[in-house]
Amino acid sequence: MSATTTVILGGGFGGISAANSLRRLLTAEHEIVVIDESSRFHVGAGKTWIMLGERTYDQISQLRVALLAPGIRFVEAKVQNIGLSNRTVSLESGSLNWDFLVIALGADLNPARVPGLAEAAHTFYTVEGAQRLKVMLERFSGGDVAILIPRVPFKCPPAPYEAALLLHHAFESRGLAGKARLAIYTAEGAPMATAGPEMGQYIKGELAQRAIAFFPQRSASRVDGTAQRVVFEDGSEARYDLLIAIPPHEAPKVVRDSQFTNQSGWIPVDPQTLQVKQPPDAREVYAVGDVTIVPLPGRYKPEIGLSLPKAGVFAEAHGRIVAHQIAAGILGRTPDEAFDGKGYCYLETGAKRAVKADGSFFELPHPVMQKRTPDEAQFRDKLDWVERLLRPTR
């Protein structure tokens, strides 16, 4: 095929991985462009460290251009429209044409979907939120801390539980043992439901050991910031002194306005190739990472379908696969790689210990998740993983 242009929307985990992998597979006449509205990439897993005052934003972030391999063009701009029939992407400064398109725009947070939440709750799910929460926590002298997960799906399913364990450790270290009481209220049936009942039991056990209360199947209908209480759809209520929420997630507006999403609000993709499923003529369009919905073949209960969790490791793996798919299309070959549903996550348990869990999500009759016992070596593994993500390629 003559010279092509692949445009990658979003320079996060998925976009960077797709761009760098594709650059390795194609010669220089094939152009690769990455568009992102901000110049810096940051590792989501570092936000709990910001919340606890252990790292700064600079220490968990890197310039995107430094992470992109030579020969990849980076454009700092907001994507305003994705055109399929004319194969263009609109930016404020003009438009770009594409032959292949990768949508890697991640998930936006929209606290307004729960009335009162934006005004009343802190969050560590954004960098600015984690920075503000750090200041609050430094002043906090005790009381009821509610961690609220009002809606699913949300990125990194272990993160709220990890935050609870880390906060518990921080409160003990700061002399607040017994004075600060932690509780988790979640719309989920169990922690990390897609990872299976054993993982859920394990996390519940870790919470119970620390007297962190756990309330599943609580979908929040509103937050009354004046009375400091969360009201749930089943009529029950929770009082708090400090509210920390995981804001509801949704696809970015430019994606919701496109033809690629289905009733879930996310982009359905082929689980192996990450090609978008709709509309049918979008054959050169792929989507990766948090912006997608990837149905899983297996299920624990016949009536409950599962989808792949939203996590950076999956976005990164998706990016590699998409690069192979696109390169094969350009070079007239059969793609030699397909997504296998495998990934891992680290759950920090406090005191510089972590547990790594390996998941195989395309298994039948249900996903398989294997974990070890928390230790310092797995915590160091996590630090190495973060360091690798931030290491410049040029």
Ligand X SMILES: Cc1cc2nc3c(=O)[nH]c(=O)nc-3n(C[C@H](O)[C@H](O)[C@H](O)COP(=O)(O)OP(=O)(O)OC[C@H]3O[C@@H](n4cnc5c(N)ncnc54)[C@H](O)[C@@H]3O)c2cc1C
Q: With CB under 6 A as the contact rule, which of the stretches 193-201, 266-274, 275-283, 286-294 interacts with ligand X?
A: 286-294
d(CA 86, CA 224): 48
Nearer to ligand X, 284 or 348 (CB): 348
Q: Which of 8, 26, 79, 170 binds ligand X (CB under 6 A)?
A: 79
For residues 180 and 347, which CB has a smaller minimum distance to ligand X in the complex? Answer: 347
Residues numbered 109 to 138 that lie near ligand X (CB under 6 A) are: 124-125
**Terminal Cα-to-Cα distance of the chain (whole angstroms):** 29
Decide if residue 8 touches ligand X (CB under 6 A): no
Residues of span 329-368 touching ligand X by CB under 6 A: 345-346
H helices of the chain, in order, are 13-25, 47-51, 64-67, 117-120, 127-139, 159-173, 197-209, 253-256, 312-331, 376-390
232 or 339: whose CB is closer to ligand X?
339
CA-CA distance, 329 to 286, in Å (whole number)?
A: 12
Of 7, 23, 37, whose CA–CA distance to 102 is shortest? 7
The tokens for 383 are 């630090």
CB of 174 to ligand X, least distance (A): 21
From residue 223, give the alpha-carbon distance in Å to each of 119, 123, 349: 9, 14, 29
44 contacts ligand X (rule: CB under 6 A): yes
Nearest residue to 291 (alpha-carbon basis) of 136, 93, 79: 79
* 124 Cβ contact list (under 8 Å, min separation 6): 47, 48, 50, 51, 130, 133, 163, 244
Contact pick of 72, 105, 187, 355 for ligand X (by CB under 6 A): 105
Binding to ligand X by residue 60, rule CB under 6 A? no
Q: What are the tokens at 44?
A: 């989501």
49 is a contact residue toward ligand X (CB under 6 A): no
For ligand X, which residue of 121, 145, 242, 315 counts as binding (CB under 6 A)?
315
Residue window 293-312: x/- pattern of binding to ligand X, with contact defined by CB under 6 A: -----------------xxx
Binding range to ligand X, per CB under 6 A, among 141-149, 200-208, 216-224, 287-295: 287-295
Q: How many residues bind ligand X (CB under 6 A)?
A: 36
Considering beta carbons, is residue 191 or 289 the nearer one to ligand X? Answer: 289
State phi, psi for 210 to the nearest 5 degrees. -100, 10
According to CB under 6 A, which one of 27, 38, 39, 217 is a site residue for ligand X? 38
DSSP string covering 25-82: HS-TTSEEEEEESSSEEE-GGGHHHHHTTSS-TGGGEEEHHHHSPTT-EEEE--EEEE
Residue whose Cβ sits closest to ligand X: 12
Q: Which parts of 243-272 interact with ligand X (CB under 6 A)? A: 252, 254
- Structure token digits, residue 170: 């921080």
Should residue 78 be labelled a site residue for ligand X when binding is judged by CB under 6 A? yes
Token pair recorded at residue 257: 């306005």
Taking the complex as a whole, how short is the minimal distance between the CB of residue 331 and ligand X, in angstroms? Answer: 25
CB of 353 to ligand X, least distance (A): 15
Q: Considering only residues 155, 168, 169, 356, which one is a binding residue for ligand X as defined by CB under 6 A?
A: 155
For the CB of residue 13, give the shortest distance to ligand X in the complex, in Å: 4
Binding mask 176-205 for ligand X (x = CB under 6 A): ------------------------------
* Separation CA 157–CA 38 (nearest Å): 25
Q: Which stretch binds ligand X (CB under 6 A): 23-31, 100-108, 171-179, 331-339?
A: 100-108
For ligand X, the closer of residues 13 and 98 by Cβ is: 13
> Which residues is 232 bridged to in the sheet?
220
Distance from C-alpha of 269 to C-alpha of 33, rounded to nearest angstrom:
22
Name the residues that contact ligand X, by CB under 6 A: 10-15, 35-38, 44-45, 47-48, 78-79, 104-106, 124-125, 155-156, 159, 252, 254, 289-291, 310-313, 315, 345-346
